Amino acid sequence: QKEVEQNSGPLSVPEGAIASLNCTYSDRGSQSFFWYRQYSGKSPELIMFIYSNGDKEDGRFTAQLNKASQYVSLLIRDSQPSDSATYLCAPTGGGNKLTFGTGTQLKVEL
Amino acid sequence: DAGITQSPRHKVTETGTPVTLRCHQTENHRYMYWYRQDPGHGLRLIHYSYGVKDTDKGEVSDGYSVSRSKTEDFLLTLESATSSQTSVYFCAISERQFDEQYFGPGTRLTVT
């Protein structure tokens, strides 16, 4: 079992819809969870982080965390074509390390 | 970008040659990291540093060494490059342990 699992996609949503990106992780000791966005040919860019169970909202983005189920998700409301990118989930693991998923490719269609 | 530069940005080298990649930060962050990114594998940690002259291995450290003689610079060396080391290399920094990490622009390395 991979330490961090994400559906590779592509996930296609129409403009204006809600995109839901999911991530499961295996390390029950993970305390912090980060979502990065990566455009093709560019470096990862931090968009959200969450530490506590529940929801955290920042503009059009909502991160949801359920530690009991070892599940973290990212919702993007009112999806825009500029949201088309690969989204990487990264929980902290043992020591001072992030463990990255392979990412979900999101395509927002006009 | 959070004051992180990488050099060179692109490099083509031959098998068996040594290669050094440089990461430079202006944020005075304590932690620095080297990752490689390959299709199907995502980002994998090579080495990281938690202070000047303090480094540790990541999950894919074989064939790589690092050095950090100043807070702002973190060097990644491939002692004898192999084709399997063809990849995109990213440097990242963070201020504290378990903090969010910020990434540099990346270096595309091709070993022929």
pLDDT in tens, A15-65: 999 999 999 999 888 888 999 999 999 999 999 999 999 999 999 999 999
Interface test with A, best of B30, B60, B98 (most A CBs within 10 A): B98
E-strand stretches of B26-79? 31-38, 42-51, 54-57, 64-70, 73-78
Report whether pLDDT(A1) > 70. no
What was the pLDDT predicted at A98? 84
Q: How many residues can be counted in chain B?
A: 112
Nearest CB to B103 within list A44, A49, A101: A44
What was the pLDDT predicted at B107? 98
Contacts of B56 in chain A (CB under 8 A): 95
Residues B51-100 pLDDT 10s: 999 999 999 999 999 999 999 999 999 999 999 999 999 999 999 877 88
∠ CA(B94), CA(B98), CA(B101), 5° rounding? 35
What was the pLDDT predicted at A21? 97
What was the pLDDT predicted at B41? 86
Partner B contacted by A44 (CB < 8 A):
yes
Tokens of A107: 């395509």
Instruction: Give the integer Cα–Cα distance in Å for B24 and B70.
Output: 10
CA torsion sign, B21 to B75 to A2 to A79? negative
